[in-house]
Amino acid sequence: MTITAAADGSALGNPGPNGWAWYIDDDNWAAGGSAHGTNNQGELQAVLELLKATAGTDEKLHIWCDSRYVIDSVTKWMPGWKRKGWRKSDGGPVLNRDLLEGIDEAMRGRDVQFSWVKGHAGDDLNEAADERANAAATAYKNKQEPRRGPGFTRATDAGAAVAASAPIASSAVAAPAAPVATAAPVETLWAEASDLLDGLDAPVDDPIEVRLALSGDEHARLRDRAEAQGVSLEEALRRLI
């Protein structure tokens, strides 16, 4: 059987009070956060906490995320970052390295898959995780203890945790990409953007101004990309060329 769970993060202010949550069903979920952090940190922490909670199981773990930053970081960019001593192609340090190293360690020897799901679009698991992550961030904003949830409670007598695959169904959501193993990249338009800079440093004599209208979801993904690289939104967009 497969453990199917959603992992999500939230930040009020980004950075600001942040929260994380993973959700399998009403009897198996957890949430937490911190007084100050980013949305990306919450997203990564949710994945790490899910991996830790299910560490005693031999079952396949299928994680649904609405953050392409998380999926691409883990399944596409991390091997290259590790080879370069946790440096990006432009020589800058990888952000959130501690969380990424924790995820890398927690995934060793396990069968883990990631799939992307559109956030705030009615997907049952994603909505449940988002609600709990946002509630945790709000609790930290109000200097209150968040609801932390029951954790991972399903286990066999032998101690191996088992959870049934939860349905991912919503008429409001376009069919998500097929599950992708960590050994293969998730279907996405992203790449390690800093790698695209190689050979493109020559000055341009006659720059051309281009105006582009982005949807809210596209703008959020660009913002996450810029934050991951430590650059401005304009620079992150420029690196796609």
224 carries an active-site annotation: no
Q: Which amino acid is at 121?
A: A
Residue 147, both tokens? 């609801």
Task: Please identify which of the residues 98, 120, 219, 234 carries the catalytic annotation.
Answer: 120
- Placement of tokens 């192609």 in the chain: 89
Sheet containing 16-25: which strands, arranged edge to edge? 28-37, 16-25, 2-11, 60-65, 112-116, 180-181
Task: Please identify which of the residues 32, 33, 49, 66 carries the catalytic annotation.
Answer: 66
Beta strands in the chain (DSSP E): 2-11, 16-25, 28-37, 60-65, 112-116, 180-181
Distance CA 91, CA 72 (A): 19
36 carries an active-site annotation: no
Task: Please identify which of the residues 8, 49, 72, 224 carries the catalytic annotation.
Answer: 8
- Placement of tokens 């105006």 in the chain: 211
Task: Please identify which of the residues 9, 19, 102, 149 carries the catalytic annotation.
Answer: 9
Q: Which of 62, 83, 69 is nearest to 41 (CA)?
A: 69
130 carries an active-site annotation: yes
Alpha carbon dihedral 73, 50, 147, 98, in 10-degree steps, equals -50
187 carries an active-site annotation: no
Distance CA 175, CA 172 (A): 10
Task: Please identify which of the residues 19, 32, 43, 102 carries the catalytic annotation.
Answer: 43
- Under 8 Å CB-to-CB from 237, ≥6 apart: which residues? 212, 222
66 carries an active-site annotation: yes
Task: Please identify which of the residues 130, 192, 224, 227 carries the catalytic annotation.
Answer: 130
Active site residues: 8-9, 43, 66, 120, 130
